[in-house]
Amino acid sequence: MMKRKQPWSRARKIWTSLTAIILVLAVLTAGVGYYFFTVAVVRSDKSFITGRAISKGKPLYVEQQAFLTASKTTWHLTAQDGTKLVGNYWKADKPTTKTVLVVHGFGVDHVAMAPYGTLFHKMGYNVLLPDNRAAGKSGGKYIGYGYLEAKDMRQWIQKIIKHNGQQSEIVVMGASLGGATTMTLSGMNTPTQVKAFIEDAGYSSTYAELFHEAQDMYHLPYLVAWPLIHVVSIYAKILAGYSIGQATPTDYLAKNHKPMLFIHGGNDTFVPTAFLNQNYNATKGIREKYKVPGAAHVQSYATNPTKYQAKVAKFLAKYFK
């Protein structure tokens, strides 16, 4: 006579199988999450990033070369966590206490913002273009998605004030991750010497941007992307010292009471144009916005240089005499 299996024995086998499946999924999620952490946060050459430098004959090439060939001073800074940072300072042709701090984006260095350096220098400003942490000649292993970089920019601002005096007047301008940095910085109780901000193509939250890229670049469904990005955040907290949730520009814009110009390309698919209104609506300060029809990511200046310059100049004229 065949012996009948006890119910508890079947239940134990079911739970053992479920536990094994859960463990396998957990290990797989941790492994895949770490891969995306290295892609998103760890310093490396990002093959999917373009726009590091402008080719001859392309719009803004002349402006890029004007900055790169200008006589500049190399500045050095040690961040609060010990990271060694490097900046490029181009003093105005005529002595002035007005300075623009220009912040570059993800996967590039200050060269990507060289045309903007020339733009502001022609307006009569001193210009400081740092290499962000984990970029260019600066040290650091981890990208901070605007949160760590904003803290660094606060130190660069203090260095500008020390160099040019307490009467300094400063504007901070950034594009892409640099735009997110600028918006985040705006809510960090900046010194009175900081008079205004300009952000171009910044995202409203790092979570939202990473979700977008997970779906756009890797075609991951929401239920897969959601846990992976939270795993990325855990790795970022443990290894880089911040969580993805801390890198949310709109949270800082809610604390900002200084003027800001928001710029975004009308055909931006890398940092979607929809972020423009989210950012614009979040700030508590005087605000203006400029959407450039047909412009791709960080291509608003190149798409319509004359109007871009005019918009920026008109905005700054209200706060810098």
What digits encode the pLDDT tens for the residues 264-273?
A: 999 999 999 9
Pairing between strand 126-131 and 84-90? antiparallel
- pLDDT given at position 51: 74
> Can you tell me which residue has the tokens 């490029």?
88
Higher pLDDT, 320 or 306: 306
Per-residue pLDDT band at 242 (split at 50, 70, 90): very high
pLDDT for residue 1: 46
Mean pLDDT of 247-267: 98
**130 vs 21: which has the higher pLDDT:** 130
- Min mean pLDDT across 44-53, 200-209, 218-227, 283-292 is at 44-53
Confidence label for 23 from pLDDT (cuts 50, 70 and 90): low
Q: What domains, with CATH codes, occur in the chain?
A: 11-40+206-244 (no CATH), 57-205+247-317 (3.40.50.1820)
Q: What is the pLDDT of residue 115?
A: 98
146: left (phi over 0), alpha (psi -120 to 50) or beta: left
Q: Cα dihedral sign for 239, 244, 247, 251? A: negative
What are the pLDDT digits (tens) for 103-112?
999 999 999 9
Band (pLDDT 50/70/90 cuts) for residue 26 is low
pLDDT at position 33 = 82
Q: What is the pLDDT of residues 159-169, one digit of tens each?
A: 999 999 999 99
User: What residue type is 203 in one-letter code?
Assistant: Y
Q: How confident is the model at residue 6 (pLDDT cuts 50, 70, 90)?
A: low
Is residue 7 very low, low, confident or very high in pLDDT (cuts 50, 70, 90)? low
* Stretch 278-302: mean pLDDT: 97
Rg value, the chain, Cα = 23
pLDDT > 80? residue 121: yes
pLDDT, tens only, 184-193: 999 999 999 9
Report the range of poorest mean pLDDT among 9-18, 146-155, 232-241, 285-294. 9-18
CB-based contacts of 201: which residues, under 8 Å, 6+ apart?
A: 105, 175, 176, 179, 263, 264, 265, 268, 271, 297, 298, 300
Of 2-16, 138-152, 303-317, which gets the smallest average pLDDT? Answer: 2-16
Query: Given this model, what pLDDT does residue 49 score?
Result: 78
**Is pLDDT of 5 > 90?**
no
Place of tokens 């900002």: 256
C-beta of residue 144 within 8 angstroms of C-beta of residue 133: yes
Provide, rounded to the nearest whole percent, the portion of the chain with pLDDT above 90. Answer: 81
